[in-house]
Amino acid sequence: MLTSTYEPPDLEVQLTLALGLTVLSPYYRSFARGLNLRGDERALDFGAGSGICSRHIAACLQRGGHLDCVDVSRRWQEVIRKTLRRYANVGYHLGHITTVDLPDAGFDGVVVHFVLHDIPAIERPTVVAALGRKLRPGGRLILREPQGEGLARDELEQLAITSGLRPAGFVAHKVFIGAVFDAVFTHP
C-alpha cells in the first residue's frame, strides 16, 4: 500500500503560482507542446500539483481531448481547480494512482513532470506499474525528471521494463532550472 503524501505550505503554493503562471509559463507551454498531442487524446497528469503544467496540457487537448489530474494533496487539488477553472475538459482525482477511480487501459498518454524522484524509492515500482496499466496499447508514458535528484536513468528504465513498458526515447539536456532527462515509454 502506498503511504506517501505531501501537503505544501502556504509559501510554496504562493511561490509556485507566482512563478509558474508568469515567468515559468513559457517553459511549461514548451513542454506541453513537445508532447505532440493531436488534441483529441485522453491524458493523465500524474502528480499534477498546482496545475501550472496541466493548464498547458489541457490547452493542447481542445479538440475533444480530456485531461485527468491526479495528486495526493488536498491543498494542491484546491489550487488546481482554480488554476484550470476555464477548462471544461479536465477531471480531478485526489489519491494515490493505485486507488483513484480511473480506468486501466484508458489513456493515450500519462505525463509525469518532476514527480517520480520525490516518491520514495520503495514505492516507485508500484507507482510505475500502476501508471503503465492506465495506458492503452500504443499509449505513452512521458516523464521529465531532474538529473541527480535520486532517480537515475537505469532505475527508471528498469522500473518501466519490469512494468511491461518499452523504452521509446531518452534525452538528457539542460533547461534554465538545470539538468533534466526526458524519457518516453510505450505500452505494447
pLDDT at residue 21 in the model: 86
pLDDT at residue 174 in the model: 87
Q: Going from the N-terminus, what domains does the chain have, and what CATH number goes with each?
A: 26-186 (3.40.50.150)
pTM (predicted TM-score): 0.94
List the alpha helices (DSSP H) in 34-167. Answer: 54-60, 74-83, 124-134, 153-162
pLDDT tens digits, 77-104? 999 999 999 999 999 999 999 999 999 9
Asked whether 129 and 185 are in contact (CB, 8 A), the reply is no
pLDDT at residue 6 in the model: 82
pLDDT at residue 2 in the model: 66
Residue 94 sits at φ, ψ, to 5 deg, of -95, 125
pLDDT tens digits, 109-130? 999 999 999 999 999 999 999 9
What stretches in the chain show pLDDT beneath 50? Answer: none
Residues 88, 60, 37, 100, CA torsion sign:
negative
